[in-house]
Amino acid sequence: MKTVALGMSGGVDSSVAAILLKQQGYRVIGLFMKNWQDDKSNCSAKEDYLDVVKVCQLLNIPYYSINFVEEYKKLVFEKCLTEFKKGFTPNPDILCNKEIKFKLFLNKALQLNANFLATGHYCQNEVINNKNHLKKGNDITKDQSYFLYTLKSSILEKILFPIGHLTKKEVREIAKKNNLINANKKDSTGICFIGKRNFKDFLKDFIPFEKGEIRTIDNKIIGSHDGLSFYTIGQRKGLKIGGEGDAWFVVDKDVKNNILYVSQGKESIELFSNKLIANDLTFVNENINLTFPYKCLAKVRYRQTDQKCQIDKIENGNIYVSFETEQRAVTLGQSIVFYKDTICLGGAIITKVIK
């Protein structure tokens, strides 16, 4: 009997994954991962762990809690702070999957003599031509492949995604049939280390902020900002700019001169672009063969519908991408993730937007 170490969050997805793995004949070990410790954040780690315990006791599987608080702080949180200080908007979930879940957590699972690590992600692991590929989950509204693009084929050989073929509705139905206490538990949202606090209030504890000017594109001063790190491209709320006409939106940041640029209207031309440059490029299949221009699909944010694009070239570690239609609010520090049909090819970190 093969053993699977299952990352359990206390939510319904990983709990149903445990049920399915047991039904498939695996010996299952439940692993709860603690990544953050902060009394201010209202992080639900304690309550979530209690839910893990209840589910594991119901299903009669062993469970352990693993503490990665220090590792998370160094490998995820501090890296995110560095990006915020540069005026970028990083994605902690992608970084956590890369550095913690599918590296340190996977190693811990293997140390427990597990044959595989499983998670409750809505995505699939498909073998094509003897290579493991990352595939979208069947429930497109819940697909999480965007957050997992840094995984390599060699890592996927050790990974299982038990619920990737199911819809969220089907997952909850299985949970109810098996009397799971978290069958109706709400999905977790937001970033654990921020919790229920205001994002700006949280960052102020870690990043020295400097007030600066808010200007229109034609350099008219119309307000002041609290620090560029607290704003993201496309943001409307919190600008405190009155006046007549359409709402104001953040369209650019001048980090060197500490200026926040805004424009009126949700469809302002300043919010749109059709080219970008990204780095820190990674492909799931490292032997991928690209002929330029390489046509594919891409997302520049989670939940965005796939956009037609082409990879123009890869040069000096940078990837140059052109879109068929203009994209709204492309944000530095976020990831662009590439697809061929339902297969996730990989992705990169956006470093420049070309308007």
Same domain? For 12 and 105 the reply is yes
Q: How confident is the model at residue 32 (pLDDT cuts 50, 70, 90)?
A: very high
Residue 193 has pLDDT above 80, yes or no: no
Does the pLDDT value for residue 41 go beyond 60? no
Measure CA 137 to chain center. Answer: 15
Percent of the chain with pLDDT over 70: 95
Predicted pLDDT at 188: 75
**CATH number, position 311:** 2.40.30.10
Round the CA-based radius of gyration of the chain to a whole number and report it. 22
Q: What is the pTM of this model?
A: 0.94
Distances, alpha carbon 256 to alpha carbons 86, 200, 212, 260, in Å: 9, 21, 11, 11
In the predicted model, is pLDDT for residue 190 greater than 90? no
Domain co-membership, 220 together with 320: no
Residue (of 119, 124, 118) closest to 166 by Cα position: 124
SS3 251: strand
- Residue 43 is assigned to a structural domain of this protein: yes
Among 96, 296, 309, 344, the active-site one is 96
Same-domain status, 224 and 311:
no
Phi, psi of 178 (to 5 degrees): -100, 10
Domain boundary among 266, 289, 313: 266
Q: Where are the beta strands (DSSP E) in 238-306?
A: 248-254, 259-264, 272-283, 294-299
Give the CATH number, domain containing residue 116.
3.40.50.620
85 and 224 share one domain:
no
Q: Is residue 203 part of a domain?
A: no
Residue 321 lies in a domain: yes
Query: With 90 as the cut, is the pLDDT of residue 342 above it?
Result: yes
Same domain, 303 and 166: no
* Last residue of one domain, picked from the residues 266, 287, 307: 266
* Across 333-350, average pLDDT: 98
- CA 232/CA 88 separation, integer angstroms: 8
Range from 34-43, 59-68, 144-153 carrying the lowest mean pLDDT: 34-43
Which CATH number characterizes residue 226's domain?
2.30.30.280
In total, how many domains does the chain have? 3
* For residue 39, pLDDT beyond 70: no
Active-site hit among 43, 80, 123, 192 = 192
pLDDT at 140 over 80: yes
List all residues 6 or more positions away from 330 whose beta carbon is below 8 Å from its beta carbon: 233, 273, 276, 300, 350, 353
Is 151 within a domain? no
Residue 200 lies in a domain: no
279 and 236 belong to one structural domain: no
pLDDT over 60 (residue 249): yes
Q: Is 123 a catalytic residue?
A: no
Pair 350, 91: CB distance under 8 Å: no
Residue 4 has pLDDT above 80, yes or no: yes
CA pair distance 352, 355, nearest whole angstrom: 10
- Whose tokens are 């497109």? That residue is 140
Lowest mean pLDDT among 33-37, 92-96, 179-183, 270-274: 33-37
Can you list the pairs that 233-238 forms with residues at least 24 positions away whose Cβ atoms lie under 8 Å?
233/89, 233/271, 233/329, 233/330, 233/331, 233/332, 234/271, 234/328, 234/329, 234/331, 236/266, 238/200
Query: What would the mean pLDDT of 71-98 be, rounded to a whole number?
Result: 93
Q: Please tell me the predicted confidence (pLDDT) of residue 202.
A: 77
Task: Please report whether residue 246 resides in a domain.
Answer: yes
Instruction: Give mean pLDDT, residues 185-191.
Output: 74
Verify that 11 and 96 share a domain, yes or no.
yes
pLDDT of 262 higher than 60: yes
Report if residue 185 sits inside a domain. no
Whether 167 and 45 share a structural domain: yes
Give catalytic status of residue 344 as yes or no.
no
What pLDDT does residue 130 have?
92
Q: Are residues 245 and 291 in the same domain?
A: no
> Is the separation of the CB atoms in 45 and 34 below 8 Å?
yes
Assess whether 284 and 261 both reside in one domain. no
In terms of domains, do 171 and 288 share one? no
The residues, any chain, with a CB within 8 Å of residue 93's CB and separated by 6 or more, are 147, 191
Is 132 contained in some domain? no
For residues 260 and 112, membership in a common domain is answered with no
Burial class (CB in 10 A: 0-12, 13-18, 19+), 219: exposed
Residue 42 has pLDDT above 80, yes or no: no
Only one residue has tokens 């980090």, namely 255
Give the separation between CA 118 and CA 160, rounded to whole angstroms.
Answer: 4
Alpha-carbon distances, residue 239 vs 18, 100, 247 (angstroms) = 45, 35, 10
Confidence of residue 143 (pLDDT cuts 50, 70, 90): very high
The whole domain housing 224 covers 209-266
Calculate the dihedral angle through the C-alpha atoms of 47, 89, 143, 58, rounding to the nearest 10 degrees. -10
